[in-house]
Amino acid sequence: MPHKESILKLKTEAFAFRVINLYKYLVEQRETVISKQIYRSGTSIGANVAESINAQSHADFVSKLSIALKEANETEYWLKTLFQGKYINEKGFQSMFKDNEEIIKILVKSIKTAKKGSNE
């Protein structure tokens, strides 16, 4: 397994745990609609990365990472919505937003590298 994917797997797993804790906090605050949305998208990032590790083909690998990227972009949207709606404070927002942004950058680079490798 390439080194970047293992870093990506670790980062997305850690992020999923943070999302789960955010979900629990939001449920305690009685915010259930958005909490379900960010729970689904935020944990799906790591699930798709995990699936990509044993992809059936190169195309399947790229597809799984692309789905993870879409989920990370959706998670970014929900984080912004939660912050602007004053459901989370700026410190929490900045920290999670930064982690998600880093995951997005790694996913974009991994997808580009994988696509380039399939063209050679």
Nearest alpha carbon to residue 51 among 42, 60, 59: 60
For the segment 109-115, the average pLDDT, to the nearest whole number, is 94
Q: What integer best gives the mean pLDDT of the chain?
A: 93
Query: Distance between CA atoms of 64 and 26, rounded to whole angstroms?
Result: 29
**Are the CB atoms for 97 and 73 separated by under 8 Å?**
no
Please give the pLDDT value at position 3.
45
For the segment 49-70, the average pLDDT, to the nearest whole number, is 95
- The whole model's pTM is what? 0.90
Nearest alpha carbon to residue 36 among 22, 53, 47: 22
pLDDT, greater one: 54 or 4: 54
